[in-house]
Amino acid sequence: MPSSFASQTYTARAAGFANDLAVQLLKLMDRKKTNLSIAADVTSKAELLQLADLLGPYICVFKTHIDILDDYDSSVPEALTALAEKHDFLIFEDRKFADIGSTVKAQYQSGVYKIASWAHITNAHPIPGEGIVHGLKEVGLPLKRGLLLLAEMSSKGTLAQGKYSMDTLAMAARNRDFVFGFIGQRRLPLDEPEKEDFLYLTPGVSMAQSGDSLGQQYRSPEQVVLESGCDVIIVGRAIYGAADPVAEAKKYQEAGWNAYLQRTRRA
Ligand code: 5BU
């Protein structure tokens, strides 16, 4: 580390992506000077929309778990979409699809949440095999959406490691029109030197804690961006759980951005 791609600016890397949404995200990050994503794991729609409005100016991606809302209704995606336009961020529903292609297709398109209709980005476990990507792609590609595969997880004892993670990369490389990156803990090059670029979005980030009581493991923005070559830091409780979430978001934005500047300058 850093690989040849990780040492380039986000904007310079945009030309190497086949998925439109990845191009949009890379340019957005440089334009807004942020590689921060907030994991807004709150349970009321008022709190969720308030976080999106308050923190919108400092983030590139707003990550949701829409199914934890106690009072979800169809006004939520509409309001979130308006805030995404107002503040220039993308919406990522962290749905972690994990079934056969035919089932995930219905789960993505239909049901209460109709995720494909509003989430720019979603993600999937590669565990069922490549049919999961093909199923999601049939719904998502016509809507110009993008997919991330879970190559690794931040939690203690995760089974997503080693060959599993490398096979995940190969699956993504065969579907570059739709899959533009990973949820992962470090950049995992398929080839040395890397032939194809992917984005790495990384949860498990805190400057204050090393973990929680349920297996979460945290690292700092510097460890994630500078040492591990990841592109977007995903921060949840460390920001929305703070007394002043805006002040905290600014701190994480600055730390993530400085790590990116150091990474691209020291090449
Ligand atoms: P936290 O409050 O910063 O610990 O929240 C982390 C978020 O990232 C939370 O929404 C998780 O569902 C999500 N997450 C994670 O923590 N680790 C992973 O490997 C993946 C997602 Br994938």
Domains by residue range for the chain, with CATH: 4-265 (3.20.20.70)
63 marked among binding-site residues: yes
Place of tokens 């995940």: 168
Q: Evaluate: CB of 126 within 6 angstroms of ligand 1.
A: no
Give the chain's length. 267
Whether the pLDDT of residue 168 is over 70: the answer is yes
Q: Which of 37, 59, 94 to mutate to test the pocket of ligand 1 (most atoms within 8 A of CB)?
A: 94
229 marked among binding-site residues: no
What is the pLDDT confidence band of residue 2, given thresholds at 50, 70 and 90?
very low
H-run or E-run covering 62: strand 61-64
> 27, 33, 96, 114: which one is catalytic?
96
How far, in Å, from the CA of 236 to the mean position of ligand 1?
A: 7
Q: How far apart are CA 70 and CA 225, in angstroms?
A: 34
Q: Evaluate: CB of 41 within 6 angstroms of ligand 1.
A: yes
User: Could you tell me which residues come within 8 angstroms of residue 133 by beta carbon, excluding any fewer than 6 positions away?
Assistant: 101, 124, 126, 147, 149, 171, 175, 178, 179
Phi and psi at residue 134, in whole multiples of 5°? -65, -40
Active site includes 94? Answer: yes
Taking Cα atoms as reference points, which of 2, 14, 1 lies closest to residue 199?
Answer: 14
Which pairs count as long-range contacts for 70-76, CB under 8 Å and 24+ apart, including other chains? Answer: 70/43, 70/44, 71/44, 71/45, 72/45, 72/112, 72/113, 73/45, 75/45, 76/45, 76/48, 76/49
Mean pLDDT for the chain?
96
Q: What is the mean pLDDT of residues 174-193?
A: 90
Cα distance between the two ends of the chain: 10
pTM: 0.97
Q: What is the mean pLDDT of residues 222-243?
A: 97
Active site includes 71? Answer: no
